[in-house]
Structure 1
Amino acid sequence: MQEGSVSFSGPTASLLTGLDMSHIRLCPAIAFNQIVGGRYKLHILCVLNRGPHRYGEIGRSLLKGGLGKPITPRILSRELKELEQRGLVDRKAYPVVPRKVEYSLTDRGRALLPILGEIIRWGATGAHEQILGIT
Protein backbone atom coordinates (compact mmCIF):
# COMPACT_ATOMS: atom_id res chain seq x y z
CA MET A 1 0.00 0.00 0.00
CA GLN A 2 1.30 3.49 -0.86
CA GLU A 3 2.29 5.92 1.84
CA GLY A 4 -0.58 8.21 2.72
CA SER A 5 -3.23 5.87 1.33
CA VAL A 6 -6.16 4.71 3.41
CA SER A 7 -7.26 1.10 3.53
CA PHE A 8 -10.86 0.38 2.63
CA SER A 9 -12.32 -2.28 4.86
CA GLY A 10 -15.97 -1.43 4.46
CA PRO A 11 -18.85 -3.68 3.50
CA THR A 12 -18.53 -6.03 0.55
CA ALA A 13 -21.31 -4.10 -1.20
CA SER A 14 -21.57 -0.34 -1.37
CA LEU A 15 -24.52 1.02 0.54
CA LEU A 16 -24.86 3.82 -2.06
CA THR A 17 -24.59 1.79 -5.26
CA GLY A 18 -25.05 -1.86 -4.31
CA LEU A 19 -21.83 -2.65 -6.22
CA ASP A 20 -19.42 -5.33 -5.03
CA MET A 21 -16.57 -3.56 -3.24
CA SER A 22 -14.71 -6.61 -1.92
CA HIS A 23 -11.83 -6.12 -4.41
CA ILE A 24 -11.33 -2.41 -3.58
CA ARG A 25 -8.46 -1.47 -1.25
CA LEU A 26 -9.00 2.30 -1.15
CA CYS A 27 -12.37 3.94 -0.56
CA PRO A 28 -13.44 5.46 -3.92
CA ALA A 29 -14.61 8.67 -2.23
CA ILE A 30 -11.22 9.15 -0.57
CA ALA A 31 -9.46 8.29 -3.84
CA PHE A 32 -11.58 10.81 -5.77
CA ASN A 33 -10.66 13.51 -3.26
CA GLN A 34 -6.96 12.62 -3.56
CA ILE A 35 -7.13 12.68 -7.37
CA VAL A 36 -9.04 15.93 -7.95
CA GLY A 37 -8.88 17.51 -4.51
CA GLY A 38 -7.51 20.97 -4.11
CA ARG A 39 -8.86 24.39 -4.73
CA TYR A 40 -8.70 24.50 -8.53
CA LYS A 41 -8.54 21.01 -10.08
CA LEU A 42 -12.28 20.52 -10.57
CA HIS A 43 -12.61 24.04 -11.94
CA ILE A 44 -9.76 23.41 -14.40
CA LEU A 45 -11.53 20.26 -15.61
CA CYS A 46 -14.72 22.28 -16.11
CA VAL A 47 -12.81 24.92 -18.11
CA LEU A 48 -11.20 22.27 -20.30
CA ASN A 49 -14.61 20.72 -20.93
CA ARG A 50 -15.12 23.60 -23.40
CA GLY A 51 -12.08 22.46 -25.41
CA PRO A 52 -8.31 23.02 -25.43
CA HIS A 53 -7.08 26.11 -23.60
CA ARG A 54 -3.76 27.83 -23.22
CA TYR A 55 -2.22 28.40 -19.80
CA GLY A 56 -3.24 32.07 -19.58
CA GLU A 57 -6.79 31.33 -20.71
CA ILE A 58 -7.15 28.76 -17.94
CA GLY A 59 -5.83 31.23 -15.35
CA ARG A 60 -8.26 33.94 -16.48
CA SER A 61 -11.17 31.48 -16.51
CA LEU A 62 -10.49 30.55 -12.89
CA LEU A 63 -11.28 34.12 -11.81
CA LYS A 64 -14.91 33.63 -12.80
CA GLY A 65 -16.81 31.72 -10.15
CA GLY A 66 -13.81 31.53 -7.84
CA LEU A 67 -14.73 34.47 -5.62
CA GLY A 68 -12.50 36.71 -7.74
CA LYS A 69 -9.22 35.62 -6.17
CA PRO A 70 -6.55 35.13 -8.85
CA ILE A 71 -4.61 31.89 -8.96
CA THR A 72 -0.86 32.34 -8.73
CA PRO A 73 1.22 31.05 -11.67
CA ARG A 74 3.03 28.63 -9.36
CA ILE A 75 -0.21 27.05 -8.13
CA LEU A 76 -1.74 26.88 -11.63
CA SER A 77 1.40 25.16 -12.91
CA ARG A 78 1.31 22.70 -10.02
CA GLU A 79 -2.38 21.89 -10.49
CA LEU A 80 -1.97 21.36 -14.25
CA LYS A 81 1.11 19.20 -13.71
CA GLU A 82 -0.73 17.01 -11.17
CA LEU A 83 -3.72 16.63 -13.49
CA GLU A 84 -1.35 15.70 -16.32
CA GLN A 85 0.53 13.18 -14.15
CA ARG A 86 -2.77 11.54 -13.20
CA GLY A 87 -3.73 11.20 -16.84
CA LEU A 88 -6.68 13.59 -16.72
CA VAL A 89 -5.16 16.41 -18.79
CA ASP A 90 -2.96 16.37 -21.87
CA ARG A 91 -0.29 19.04 -22.42
CA LYS A 92 0.63 19.79 -26.02
CA ALA A 93 3.60 22.07 -26.71
CA TYR A 94 3.89 23.53 -30.22
CA PRO A 95 7.32 24.17 -31.80
CA VAL A 96 6.73 27.89 -32.34
CA VAL A 97 8.07 31.18 -31.02
CA PRO A 98 6.61 32.59 -28.87
CA ARG A 99 5.99 29.36 -27.00
CA LYS A 100 2.51 27.90 -27.32
CA VAL A 101 1.17 25.21 -25.00
CA GLU A 102 -2.39 23.92 -24.94
CA TYR A 103 -4.09 21.79 -22.33
CA SER A 104 -7.02 19.48 -23.05
CA LEU A 105 -8.92 16.67 -21.36
CA THR A 106 -7.87 13.09 -21.92
CA ASP A 107 -10.41 10.27 -22.19
CA ARG A 108 -9.85 9.65 -18.48
CA GLY A 109 -10.54 13.34 -17.76
CA ARG A 110 -13.68 13.33 -19.91
CA ALA A 111 -14.91 10.30 -17.94
CA LEU A 112 -15.20 12.60 -14.90
CA LEU A 113 -17.53 15.05 -16.69
CA PRO A 114 -20.77 13.28 -15.69
CA ILE A 115 -19.67 13.50 -12.04
CA LEU A 116 -18.87 17.20 -12.45
CA GLY A 117 -22.24 17.68 -14.10
CA GLU A 118 -23.98 16.23 -11.06
CA ILE A 119 -21.97 18.46 -8.73
CA ILE A 120 -22.98 21.48 -10.81
CA ARG A 121 -26.64 20.37 -10.81
CA TRP A 122 -26.48 20.18 -7.02
CA GLY A 123 -24.85 23.62 -6.95
CA ALA A 124 -27.59 25.08 -9.15
CA THR A 125 -29.92 24.64 -6.18
CA GLY A 126 -27.81 27.14 -4.23
CA ALA A 127 -27.19 24.59 -1.46
CA HIS A 128 -23.44 25.15 -1.59
CA GLU A 129 -23.83 28.90 -0.99
CA GLN A 130 -26.12 28.25 1.97
CA ILE A 131 -23.67 25.73 3.45
CA LEU A 132 -20.71 28.09 2.97
CA GLY A 133 -22.63 31.17 4.10
CA ILE A 134 -22.18 32.99 0.77
CA THR A 135 -25.03 35.33 -0.07
Structure 2
Amino acid sequence: MEAAISLIDGKWKCVILWHLFSEGTLRFNEIRKRVPSITQRMLTNQLRELEQDGIIHREVYPQVPPKVEYCLTDLGQSLEKILFALKQWGDAHIDQFGKLTLVDGHPNP
Protein backbone atom coordinates (compact mmCIF):
# COMPACT_ATOMS: atom_id res chain seq x y z
CA MET A 1 0.00 0.00 0.00
CA GLU A 2 2.72 2.49 0.97
CA ALA A 3 4.65 1.91 -2.25
CA ALA A 4 1.59 2.65 -4.39
CA ILE A 5 0.58 5.72 -2.43
CA SER A 6 4.11 7.14 -2.50
CA LEU A 7 3.95 7.23 -6.32
CA ILE A 8 0.89 9.51 -6.39
CA ASP A 9 1.37 11.26 -3.05
CA GLY A 10 1.10 15.01 -2.98
CA LYS A 11 -1.32 17.70 -3.97
CA TRP A 12 -0.56 17.78 -7.69
CA LYS A 13 0.53 14.38 -8.98
CA CYS A 14 -2.97 12.95 -9.33
CA VAL A 15 -4.16 16.13 -11.04
CA ILE A 16 -1.26 16.04 -13.51
CA LEU A 17 -1.83 12.36 -14.20
CA TRP A 18 -5.55 12.92 -14.70
CA HIS A 19 -4.84 15.46 -17.45
CA LEU A 20 -2.39 13.08 -19.12
CA PHE A 21 -5.01 10.29 -18.99
CA SER A 22 -7.70 12.59 -20.35
CA GLU A 23 -5.71 14.35 -23.05
CA GLY A 24 -2.69 12.21 -23.84
CA THR A 25 0.69 13.76 -24.53
CA LEU A 26 1.04 17.33 -23.25
CA ARG A 27 3.75 19.97 -23.21
CA PHE A 28 4.84 21.69 -19.99
CA ASN A 29 2.86 24.89 -20.62
CA GLU A 30 -0.23 22.90 -21.60
CA ILE A 31 -0.13 21.15 -18.23
CA ARG A 32 0.46 24.47 -16.48
CA LYS A 33 -2.60 26.01 -18.17
CA ARG A 34 -4.75 23.09 -17.02
CA VAL A 35 -3.48 23.40 -13.44
CA PRO A 36 -3.26 27.19 -13.07
CA SER A 37 -2.73 27.26 -9.31
CA ILE A 38 0.51 25.23 -9.47
CA THR A 39 3.78 27.16 -9.57
CA GLN A 40 6.28 26.54 -12.34
CA ARG A 41 8.79 25.22 -9.82
CA MET A 42 6.31 22.81 -8.24
CA LEU A 43 5.17 21.53 -11.63
CA THR A 44 8.79 20.95 -12.63
CA ASN A 45 9.45 19.04 -9.39
CA GLN A 46 6.30 16.93 -9.68
CA LEU A 47 7.05 16.05 -13.31
CA ARG A 48 10.64 15.10 -12.40
CA GLU A 49 9.44 12.83 -9.60
CA LEU A 50 6.86 11.17 -11.84
CA GLU A 51 9.54 10.65 -14.49
CA GLN A 52 12.05 9.25 -11.97
CA ASP A 53 9.39 6.82 -10.72
CA GLY A 54 8.74 5.64 -14.28
CA ILE A 55 5.15 6.93 -14.33
CA ILE A 56 5.64 9.43 -17.16
CA HIS A 57 8.05 9.75 -20.06
CA ARG A 58 9.71 13.05 -20.93
CA GLU A 59 10.55 13.49 -24.61
CA VAL A 60 12.93 16.31 -25.52
CA TYR A 61 13.04 17.31 -29.18
CA PRO A 62 16.30 18.83 -30.46
CA GLN A 63 14.92 22.04 -31.90
CA VAL A 64 14.85 25.75 -31.22
CA PRO A 65 12.88 26.75 -29.25
CA PRO A 66 13.09 23.58 -27.17
CA LYS A 67 10.09 21.28 -27.30
CA VAL A 68 9.43 18.91 -24.38
CA GLU A 69 6.43 16.60 -24.17
CA TYR A 70 5.15 14.40 -21.35
CA CYS A 71 3.16 11.21 -21.70
CA LEU A 72 2.25 8.24 -19.54
CA THR A 73 4.40 5.12 -19.56
CA ASP A 74 2.87 1.65 -19.39
CA LEU A 75 3.37 1.79 -15.63
CA GLY A 76 1.59 5.15 -15.55
CA GLN A 77 -1.26 3.78 -17.67
CA SER A 78 -1.71 1.02 -15.10
CA LEU A 79 -2.79 3.69 -12.55
CA GLU A 80 -5.83 4.71 -14.61
CA LYS A 81 -8.36 2.53 -12.77
CA ILE A 82 -7.04 3.68 -9.41
CA LEU A 83 -7.26 7.37 -10.28
CA PHE A 84 -10.68 6.91 -11.89
CA ALA A 85 -11.92 5.23 -8.68
CA LEU A 86 -10.55 8.14 -6.61
CA LYS A 87 -12.30 10.63 -8.90
CA GLN A 88 -15.60 8.75 -8.68
CA TRP A 89 -15.37 8.64 -4.90
CA GLY A 90 -14.59 12.35 -4.75
CA ASP A 91 -17.45 13.20 -7.11
CA ALA A 92 -19.85 11.10 -5.02
CA HIS A 93 -18.83 12.81 -1.77
CA ILE A 94 -18.17 16.38 -2.90
CA ASP A 95 -21.31 17.64 -1.15
CA GLN A 96 -20.20 16.12 2.13
CA PHE A 97 -16.66 17.45 2.06
CA GLY A 98 -16.74 20.29 -0.41
CA LYS A 99 -13.35 21.74 -1.16
CA LEU A 100 -10.93 20.67 1.55
CA THR A 101 -8.07 22.82 2.71
CA LEU A 102 -5.09 21.56 4.66
CA VAL A 103 -4.19 22.75 8.14
CA ASP A 104 -0.88 21.41 9.42
CA GLY A 105 -0.99 18.79 6.66
CA HIS A 106 -4.44 17.49 7.64
CA PRO A 107 -7.84 18.03 5.93
CA ASN A 108 -9.83 20.91 7.38
CA PRO A 109 -13.36 21.09 5.90
Query: How would you bin the TM-score normalised by the shorter chain?
Result: 0.7 to 0.9
Larger Cα Rg: Structure 1 or Structure 2?
A: 1
Higher helix share: 2
> 1:87 Cα shift?
0.2
| Matched letter for residue 57 of structure 1 | E
| Matched letter for residue 79 of structure 2 | L
Unaligned ranges ≥5, structure 1: 1-27, 64-69
- Per chain length, whose mean CA-contact separation is higher, i.e. which structure has more relative contact order (CA < 8 Å, sep 6+)? 2
d(CA) in 2 for partners of 1:37 and 1:51? 21
1:56 alignment partner, SS class: helix
> 1:131 Cα shift?
2.3
Match of 2:68 in 1: 101
Q: 1:133 to 1:83 in 2, by over 3 A?
A: closer
CA displacement 1:48-87 (0-9 Å, x = unmatched)? 1121000000011113xxxxxx211110000000000000
User: Which of 46, 54, 70 is the aligned partner of 2:18?
Assistant: 46
CA displacement 1:68-120 (0-9 Å, x = unmatched)? xx211110000000000000000000011111000000000000001111111
Q: What is the TM-score with the length of structure 1 in the denominator? A: 0.68
d(CA) in 2 for partners of 1:79 and 1:129? 29
Higher strand share: 2
How many pairs are equivalent?
99
d(CA) in 1 for partners of 2:99 and 2:50? 30
Match of 1:86 in 2: 53
User: Which of 85, 88, 93 is the aligned partner of 1:121?
Assistant: 88
